[in-house]
Amino acid sequence: MNFINQLLDFDLSLLQSARWLVWSQYASLVQVTGELVVFFWAGTLIGLWLYGVYKKDNEYKKTALTIFFTIVAVFGIYAIINLGLPKWRLGAMEIAGAIAPLIPHPTDNSFPSGHALFTGAFLVALLRYYRYNSSIVIIVVLVALITLVSRVIGGVHYPGDIIGGLVFGSVGAYFLRPVVDIFISKTFPIFIKIASYIRL
């Protein structure tokens, strides 16, 4: 128990140290970089789908849907852990005497970080198809790092929340893969049929 308390204290000191790295006048920049990965997911998935339309190749569309539904499936894990479990420590934004956070965030259970959890799921799902493309891997990891570091510097998550989110998201995406594959195999023709009506 003593080791766990030491670990939590270390996590808290890392959060407080990281928060001092950015002045409040840079809050808007931290807010943008703290959401960067969300725009990146959306852009990647829309881009994959549209590339499939352009190439007349449904495999790109299937890849986009598989990645999307992997993230959706992992959201169930997030909801159970973050919303279903009792709060076991103060969230990063609720610490007495802490510096004001730079990123708006609800005062929910900050563990695990939702952004980190979805990032882990996105990485696992995307690398399933593009693990041999070093350019894509580097870009994805870079965007993820910028976003997740910003979440800590912005004062909304402990570093432990980020690590926990990445672990849960990655493991969840890996183990939910068969379920997502079954779902996609049964529903993909329906999605394609719907999309064909609007020429997508």
What pTM was computed for the model? Answer: 0.78
Q: How far apart are CA 161 and CA 120, in angstroms?
A: 13
pLDDT digits (tens, 9 = 90+) for 133-175: 888 888 888 988 888 888 877 777 778 888 888 898 999 999 9
Q: How far apart are CA 197 and CA 193, in angstroms?
A: 7
pLDDT of residue 31: 73
pLDDT digits (tens, 9 = 90+) for 5-38: 555 555 555 555 555 566 566 667 777 777 888 8
Q: How far apart are CA 156 and CA 79, in angstroms?
A: 18
Structural domains for the chain: 2-197 (1.20.144)
Q: 188 exposed, middle or buried (CB, 10 Å; 0-12, 13-18, 19+)?
A: middle
Res 69 pLDDT > 90: yes
Six-digit token pair at 40?
Answer: 């990146």
Res 41 pLDDT > 70: yes
The answer to whether the CB of 92 falls within 8 A of the CB of 140 is: no
Helix axes 134-153 and 114-130, enclosed angle (nearest 10):
180
